Amino acid sequence: MKRLFWIIGLVVIALIGIAVIRFYYAGSVTSSFTGPVSPDEPIPDALVAEVEKYVLKLMQNYDVPGAAMVLVKGDQIIYSHGFGVRDLEMNIPVDTQTLFGIGSSTKPMTAIMVASLVDDGVIDWDTPVTDLLPAFAMSDPEIAKKVTFMHTLCMCTGVPRKVEDISVQYNELTAEDMIESLAIIPLEGKFEEHYAYSERMYSAGGYLAAMAAGGEYGHLAEAYNKVMQERLFDPVGMTSTTLSIDKAVASGNYATPYYSSITDFEAIPPDVEGVFTPIAPTGAVWSNADDLGKLLIMLLNDGVTVDGRRVVSAENLAYLWEPRTVIDTTFKYGLGWNVEDYHGLTVIHHPGGTVGFASELVIIPEYNIGFAMLINRLDLVHQMGRMTTYRLLEMLTGSQQTYDHEARVAIKEFERQISLLLLITRKTVKPEKITPFLGSYHNGTLGDVKLVLHDDNTLWIDFGEYETSIRPLITGENEYIFFESTFLGKTVQLKLDADGKPTMKWIGNEGTYEFVAKSPNE
């Protein structure tokens, strides 16, 4: 049965994607606790109460079904709680054991696993990837020779984000496909200097580390799952955390993912999260508040679990948190972590977004505080985890609460752009104009798609696994725009060539895809 998933790639973008989005509209929620709090003193109960009140208000403002939050100080979980429901239809409450997809909050976990391998001498940060996999290739052969295991995790190789073909073909792609695709992706910016967020290169680092640990090429997905279990989940005691959607569902305590498009908000089947399967090291983990609390304690305790088991050395943990690649004036990227300068305070964090989930993982070393949030709705504009993080920081530091104002400015601009998109498009098409172009098309990267006219005269691109709508622009002949999915904003041009054969071209910031019409018997 075909499914319509309007947000498949937008979430990949939000995550995986947009590693740093700082300002979202939080309404006018003000705190009665103003701080500051000394790094050496316990977290005041009043601050925790304000954080809880803030979260509840955000959930109300934005129709968030469910959330879970954990706050850690040193080696103790001082607050852990579930909010709302994990499924609106069944009205089942979220608890601290409820599993959520965490998206790009997977990246820090992969980095920890790689660091543990460095600890044991399995690999070195400076080990060239070609030493392990001589066939490793990039579009620039000289840069391919320079790429080390450190480089695979620093977002600094020049490999750009290319999520469109992943979101379309995810059921057909393997770990090996992700690695091999690096050979044909043009690079952007200067090696080791330019920030280029790349789920493909990051995934390659995770998969190849698993290969170094004994995995076989051709079975890298299985090897990665095994090494994550052995080197992170088991030693930390993350007994519920998994990379398997099936296991998450089988647990009986998982949150239903809800997606948000421009015009809709709807539950989706958990298996849609399979879009992250080919890039598992960058975004496929499912976890809960209890397990993330244990992870945060280990991180705050220099790599040692609450029961005294060392998972990663303090040296290599600190190595992950070294700022390397400049994102902007206050943000840099380490290895699997954003490193932020918040008014002189170092904040180490990573957000995550999937098709229907959002997450946040935060370490504040000076305060010896860890924080995590899980949400079963991804919104295109705001993310509760980020918003709550900044509220927490404002109260800890006693800094002026300017966040809401900046967020309102950002949301107004977003709404303006959406209004423009709605203004320049029509929902329906004229059948007589579109009929010559209906049918199947082929592109070497995306494969086969169909241009389909529904009974209500709306036009759709059918990918086989799902379909997404395109709307005609009010100006221009046979020009359309994707109104949903990964390709939101990408324009579509339909033309008849000199022989009268239909052609289709998709044009956007991730590149252009040209399609050739297939004959009925192909």
Q: Which residue, 414, 443, 475, sits at the end of a domain?
A: 414
Residue of 162, 155, 167 whose CA lies nearest to 197 = 155
Computed over every residue of the chain, the mean pLDDT equals 89
Q: How confident is the model at residue 114 (pLDDT cuts 50, 70, 90)?
A: very high
Neighbour-count burial of 303, counting CB atoms closer than 10 A to its CB (0-12 exposed, 13-18 middle, 19+ buried): buried
| Together in a domain, 218 and 347 | yes
Residue 421 lies in a domain: no
Q: How confident is the model at residue 260 (pLDDT cuts 50, 70, 90)?
A: confident
Q: Which residue, 382, 414, 446, sits at the end of a domain?
A: 414
Whether residue 364 has pLDDT greater than 50: yes
Element (H, E) at 286: strand 286-287
**Tokens 């789920």 correspond to what residue?**
199
Residue of 239, 253, 486, 256 whose CA lies nearest to 357 = 256
Mean pLDDT confidence for 8-27: 38
Q: How confident is the model at residue 21 (pLDDT cuts 50, 70, 90)?
A: very low
Whether residue 1 has pLDDT greater than 50: no
Provide, rounded to the nearest whole percent, the portion of the chain with pLDDT above 90.
Answer: 71
In this prediction, residue 355 carries a pLDDT of 86
Taking a C-beta distance cutoff of 8 angstroms, is the pair 261, 6 a contact? yes
Mean pLDDT confidence for 163-169: 78
User: Based on the structure, what is the number of domains in the chain?
Assistant: 2
Query: What digits encode the pLDDT tens for the residues 30-48?
Result: 557 888 999 999 999 999 9
3-class DSSP state of 60: helix
Residue 423 lies in a domain: no
Q: How confident is the model at residue 168 (pLDDT cuts 50, 70, 90)?
A: confident
Query: What digits encode the pLDDT tens for the residues 58-92?
Result: 888 778 999 999 999 999 999 999 999 999 999 99
Q: Provide the H-helix boundaries in 251-325.
A: 280-283, 289-300, 314-320
Expressed as residue numbers, the domain containing 95 is 8-414
Are β-strands 76-87 and 92-93 bridged in parallel, bridged antiparallel, or unpaired?
A: antiparallel
| Together in a domain, 303 and 451 | no
Six-digit token string for 419:
């209004």
In this prediction, residue 15 carries a pLDDT of 38
| Together in a domain, 96 and 21 | yes
Q: Is the dihedral of CA 170, 176, 179, 183 positive or negative?
A: negative
Query: What digits encode the pLDDT tens for the residues 318-330?
Result: 999 999 999 999 9
Numbers of helices and strands, H then E, in the chain: 18, 22
In this prediction, residue 263 carries a pLDDT of 60
Contacts 24+ apart (CB under 8 A), 308-313: 309/235, 311/112, 311/116, 311/231, 311/232, 311/235, 311/236, 312/112, 312/115, 312/116, 312/119, 313/115, 313/119
Whether residue 11 has pLDDT greater than 60: no
Whether residue 2 has pLDDT greater than 80: no
Whether residue 160 has pLDDT greater than 70: yes
Residue of 15, 164, 184 whose CA lies nearest to 489 = 164
Six-digit token string for 19:
């590693």
How many angstroms from the chain centroid is the CA of residue 133? 27
| Together in a domain, 100 and 169 | yes
| Together in a domain, 294 and 168 | yes
**Tokens 């994707």 correspond to what residue?**
482
Provide the β-strand partners of residue 100.
Answer: 287
In this prediction, residue 287 carries a pLDDT of 98
Whether residue 384 has pLDDT greater than 90: no
Residue of 244, 307, 342, 292 whose CA lies nearest to 69 = 292
Gap between the Cα atoms of 144 and 132, Å rounded: 13
Residue 280 lies in a domain: yes
Gap between the Cα atoms of 460 and 242, Å rounded: 35
| Together in a domain, 216 and 335 | yes
Taking a C-beta distance cutoff of 8 angstroms, is the pair 365, 376 a contact? no
Separation in Å, CA 391 to CA 23, 42, 48, 73, 320: 12, 18, 11, 17, 26
Q: Which residue, 358, 386, 414, sits at the end of a domain?
A: 414
Query: What digits encode the pLDDT tens for the residues 280-297?
Result: 999 999 999 999 999 999
Residue 129 lies in a domain: yes
How many angstroms from the chain centroid is the CA of residue 459? 29
Q: How confident is the model at residue 164 (pLDDT cuts 50, 70, 90)?
A: confident
In this prediction, residue 411 carries a pLDDT of 66
Q: What is the CATH number of the domain that holds 481?
A: 2.40.128
Q: Which residue has the higher pLDDT, 133 or 484?
A: 133
| Together in a domain, 310 and 369 | yes
Gap between the Cα atoms of 170 and 272, Å rounded: 10
Are β-strands 377-378 and 258-260 bridged in parallel, bridged antiparallel, or unpaired?
A: parallel
In this prediction, residue 400 carries a pLDDT of 82
In this prediction, residue 17 carries a pLDDT of 37
Whether residue 12 has pLDDT greater than 90: no
Q: How confident is the model at residue 262 (pLDDT cuts 50, 70, 90)?
A: low
Residue of 2, 91, 13 whose CA lies nearest to 468 = 2
**pTM for the whole thing?**
0.90
CA-CA-CA-CA torsion for 408, 413, 419, 422, nearest 10 degrees? -120
**Tokens 């070609």 correspond to what residue?**
130
Query: What digits encode the pLDDT tens for the residues 415-432?
Result: 787 788 788 889 999 999
The amino acid at residue 177 is D
In this prediction, residue 246 carries a pLDDT of 97
